[in-house]
């Protein structure tokens, strides 16, 4: 029976210290979401495979964790099918359920199933783990949290404006300097149209998206490999290498796209969003970045991405507008726009920049030393008094050596220790020790709470 336990690769335990930091991140994001009128929902970790399959592309289907049916899971499979070993087909016979892969598809399901109870526009946020059967590697987990906010049922660009404000506010609260990059899928479509390769839009966006990583020459090579004509690639050059302020960029693009209706619509949308944001004086810079495509096929309007200025770590937040989110579930015509904060990377950024507020580690504030039964009985009313004042307090449960109790206090970073031995008890007093300064004071137990409160300041 005895075995040395292991943890599933790509999953993590979170210690009290890590939890404090993670909770700080989640709480900060939640507070800002609430401030903007977003409301929290939760959906189950387990969804039907019918809900999940076919939503994330072929690769995504493979990365879904599938849950084996209960009971006789071979019920629906005959021997012939078994020995044929068509794993893809068999998987869907052995499993009806899977673990959610993101929060967007479950949200779409939620909106369709609860459509009649919801008030639109529906602004929801959701902070829950998702699972991906990825090959685990540094910084890539099989179980990780997403922190999403989406508005569904409103085409207004004010939603995009608001999401940019949210991003700005969240990172302002974290104390992290970021660049918020925006783009618009319609501009990308316009570009594809303009160079006569509208069917190649996916290839073009994927290639352009790599500019930062592989450089212009390789992007051009990739475009050529994708079957884009030399002429079209030539036309793309000024767009890919566009420089200047947002207004300057917009002017150039507007001119290049003057014959593309959809392209001009994209320019207009970006211009509107930047225009409304201008008087708001965000703390962080917003940059129109035409190379931003996020590889995702379902964005139809705005595309966002956030990078930390002082840590090199890739995108720490992203999002965009997707029309027809719920169409896959038979409810067409609902447009959505949303963002997703990458909690794990933000965690790393805050660690790298040492930006966690000092109070984040909220441990016990006072430990009462246990000298034995009599002493314990003497102290317990004070422990309770501290708690009734909202002070996190502990009585060490065992009457072990003082040294062990003190090292417990140190390890838990408990700021104060209280002791009452025979002397203190005779005088109805207690000793309070400041663990940081080493200072000790002896106080009457009736003054304990007052003196302790004074000491903590």
Kindly identify the residues of this chain, within the stretch 132-151, that bind a copy of itself according to CB under 8 A.
133, 142-143, 151
Residue 75: count of CB within 10 angstroms of its CB? 9
- Annotated binding residues for L-histidine, as ranges? 102-104, 132, 146, 150, 294, 298-299
With both helix axes pointing from N to C terminus, report the angle between 185-194 and 230-240 in degrees, rounded to the nearest 10.
140
Among residues 235 and 412, whose Cβ is nearest to a copy of itself? 412
Least spacing, CB of residue 252 vs a copy of itself, in Å: 26
Among residues 109 and 181, whose Cβ is nearest to a copy of itself? 109
Q: Does 34 bind a copy of itself (CB under 8 A)?
A: yes
Residue of 138, 330, 401, 436 that binds a copy of itself (CB under 8 A): 330
Q: What is the DSSP string of 104-128?
A: HHHHHHHHHHTGGG--SSEEEEEEE
Length of the chain: 457
Q: Does 72 bind a copy of itself (CB under 8 A)?
A: yes
Among residues 74 and 224, whose Cβ is nearest to a copy of itself? 74
For a copy of itself, how many residues bind (rule: CB under 8 A)? 110
> According to CB under 8 A, which residues from 402 to 421 bind a copy of itself?
407-408, 411-412
- Annotated binding residues, as ranges? 102-104, 132, 146, 150, 294, 298-299
**Cα 21 to Cα 361: distance, rounded to the nearest angstrom:** 7
Question: H or E element: which one contains 184?
Answer: strand 178-184
Q: Does 446 bind a copy of itself (CB under 8 A)?
A: no
Q: Does 311 bind a copy of itself (CB under 8 A)?
A: no
Q: Does 206 bind a copy of itself (CB under 8 A)?
A: no
Q: What is the DSSP string of 210-271?
A: THHHHHHHHHHHHHHHTT--HHHHHHHHHHHT--S-HHHHHHHHHHHTTT-HHHHHHHHHHH
Provide CB contacts within 8 A for 213, sequence distance 6+. Answer: none
Among residues 248 and 275, whose Cβ is nearest to a copy of itself? 275
**Cα 306 to Cα 319: distance, rounded to the nearest angstrom:** 9
Residue of 58, 59, 83, 401 that binds a copy of itself (CB under 8 A): 83
| Token couple for 74 | 């071979």
Distance in Å from the first CA to the final CA of the chain: 52
Among residues 124 and 345, whose Cβ is nearest to a copy of itself? 124
Q: Does 66 bind a copy of itself (CB under 8 A)?
A: yes
């Amino acid at each position: 029976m005895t075995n040395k336990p292991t943890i599933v690769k790509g999953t993590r335990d979170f210690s009290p210290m890590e939890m404090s930091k993670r909770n700080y991140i989640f709480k900060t994001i939640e507070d800002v979401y609430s401030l903007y009128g977003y409301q929290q929902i939760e959906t189950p970790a387990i969804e039907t495979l019918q809900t999940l399959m076919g939503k994330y592309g072929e690769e995504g289907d493979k990365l879904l964790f599938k849950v084996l049916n209960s009971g006789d899971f071979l019920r629906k499979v005959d021997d012939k099918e078994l020995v044929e070993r068509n794993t893809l087909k068999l998987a869907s016979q052995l499993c009806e359920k899977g673990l959610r892969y993101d929060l967007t598809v479950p949200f779409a399901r939620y909106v369709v199933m609860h459509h009649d109870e919801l008030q639109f526009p529906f602004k929801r946020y959701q902070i829950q783990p998702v699972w991906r059967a990825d090959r685990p590697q540094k910084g890539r987990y099989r179980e990780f949290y997403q922190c999403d906010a989406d508005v569904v049922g409103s085409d207004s660009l004010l939603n995009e404006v608001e999401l940019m404000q949210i991003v700005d506010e969240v990172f302002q609260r974290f104390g992290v300097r970021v660049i918020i990059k925006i783009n618009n899928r319609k501009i990308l479509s316009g570009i594809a149209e303009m160079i006569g390769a509208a069917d190649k839009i996916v290839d073009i966006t994927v290639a352009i998206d790599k500019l930062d990583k592989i450089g212009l020459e390789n992007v051009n090579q990739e475009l050529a490999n994708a079957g884009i004509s030399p002429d079209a690639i030539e036309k793309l050059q000024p767009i890919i290498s566009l420089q200047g302020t947002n207004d300057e960029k917009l002017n150039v693009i507007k001119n290049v796209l003057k014959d593309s209706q959809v392209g001009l619509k994209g320019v207009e949308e970006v211009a509107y969003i930047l225009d409304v944001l201008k008087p708001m004086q965000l703390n962080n810079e917003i940059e129109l970045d035409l190379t931003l495509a996020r590889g995702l096929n379902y964005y139809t309007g705005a595309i966002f991405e956030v990078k930390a200025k002082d840590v090199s770590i890739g995108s720490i937040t992203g999002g965009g507008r997707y029309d027809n989110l719920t169409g896959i579930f038979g409810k067409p015509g609902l447009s959505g726009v949303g963002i997703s904060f990458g909690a794990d990377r933000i965690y790393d950024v805050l660690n790298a920049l040492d930006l966690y507020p000092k109070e984040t580690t909220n441990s016990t504030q006072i430990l009462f030393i246990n000298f034995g039964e009599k002493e314990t009985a003497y102290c317990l009313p004070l422990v309770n008094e501290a708690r009734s004042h909202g002070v996190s307090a502990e009585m060490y449960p065992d009457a072990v050596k003082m040294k062990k109790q003190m090292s417990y206090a140190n390890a838990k970073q408990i700021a104060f220790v209280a002791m009452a031995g025979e002397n203190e008890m005779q005088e109805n007093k207690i000793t309070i020790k400041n663990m940081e300064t080493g200072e000790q004071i002896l106080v009457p137990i009736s003054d304990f709470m007052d003196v302790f409160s004074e000491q903590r300041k």
